[in-house]
Amino acid sequence: MQEIKVGIGDLNIAKTPDKLITLGLGSCIGIALIDSFNKIAGLSHIMLPDSKAFSNINNPMKYADTAIPLLVQKLITSGANKNNLKAKIAGGASMFSFADKSPMMDIGKRNAEAVKSVLKELNIPIIAEDIGGNKGRTMIVDPTTATVILKITGEGIKEL
Amino acid sequence: MELKLTEFQIDALKEVGNIGSGNAATALSQLINKKVDMEIPQLDILEFNDMIRRVGNDDDVVVAVLLKVFGDVLGNILFMIKNEEAEKFTNTLMFGMTELNEDMLYSIFQEVGNILGNSYLNAIAQLANMSVVTSVPSVAIDMLAAIMTTTFMDAEQYSENVLAIDTKFIVDNNEIAGNFFFIPKPGSLEILLNKLGL
Chain A residues lying within 8 Å of B142, measured CB to CB = 24, 26, 95, 135-136, 153-154
B141 to chain A, any CB pair closer than 8 A? The answer is yes
* A-B C-beta contacts closer than 8 Å: 97
Q: What is the pLDDT of residue B176?
A: 66
Per-residue model confidence as pLDDT tens digits over B56-108: 899 999 999 999 999 998 999 999 988 888 877 777 776 666 677 778 888 88
pLDDT mean over B2-12: 76
Residues of A (26-65) whose Cβ lies below 8 Å from B: 26-28, 47-48, 54, 56, 58-59
- Average pLDDT, rounded, for chain B: 83
pLDDT mean over B120-148: 90
Backbone angles phi, psi at A7, to 5 degrees: -80, -170
Q: Is B186 exposed, middle or buried (0-12, 13-18, 19+ CB in 10 A)?
A: middle
Give domain status of residue B33, yes or no. Answer: yes
- Which secondary-structure segment (H or E) carries A157? strand A156-159
Q: Which domain holds residue B71?
A: 7-195
Per-residue model confidence as pLDDT tens digits over A32-63: 999 999 999 999 999 999 999 887 778 899 99
The runs of H, that is alpha helices, within B129-174 are 144-154
ipTM: 0.89
Q: How many domains does chain B have?
A: 1
Annotated active-site residue A107? The verdict is no
* B48·A95 Cβ contact <8 A: no
Give domain status of residue B96, yes or no. Answer: yes
Q: How confident is the model at residue A152 (pLDDT cuts 50, 70, 90)?
A: very high
Give domain status of residue B53, yes or no. Answer: yes
Buried residues in A13-39 as b, exposed as e (16+ CB within 10 A): bbebebbbbbbbbbbbbbbbbbbbebb
Q: Please enumerate in sequence order all residues whose Cβ is within 8 A of that of A16, keeping only pairs 6 or more positions apart, or say none.
A: A39, A40, A143, A144
Q: Which domain holds residue A48?
A: 3-159
Per-residue model confidence as pLDDT tens digits over B24-55: 888 888 877 888 887 777 777 788 888 888 88
Q: What is the pLDDT of residue B2?
A: 54
Give domain status of residue B147, yes or no. Answer: yes
Q: How many domains does chain A have?
A: 1
B175 to chain A, any CB pair closer than 8 A? The answer is no
CA distance A136 to chain B (A): 6
pLDDT mean over B3-13: 79
Give domain status of residue B37, yes or no. Answer: yes
CATH number of the domain that residue A26 is part of: 3.30.1330.200
Give domain status of residue B2, yes or no. Answer: no
Q: Which of A6, A28, A112, A150 is catalytic?
A: A28
Per-residue pLDDT at B159 exceeds 80: no
Tell me how crowded residue B19 is: count the other CB atoms within 10 A of its CB. Answer: 16
CATH number of the domain that residue B104 is part of: 3.40.1550.10
Per-residue model confidence as pLDDT tens digits over A64-94: 999 999 999 999 999 999 999 999 999 999 8
Per-residue model confidence as pLDDT tens digits over A125-141: 999 999 999 999 999 99
Give domain status of residue B112, yes or no. Answer: yes
The runs of H, that is alpha helices, within A15-106 are 64-77
- Average pLDDT, rounded, for chain A: 93
* B145·A100 Cβ contact <8 A: no
Give domain status of residue B87, yes or no. Answer: yes
* A28·B149 Cβ contact <8 A: yes
Q: What is the pLDDT of residue A99?
A: 64
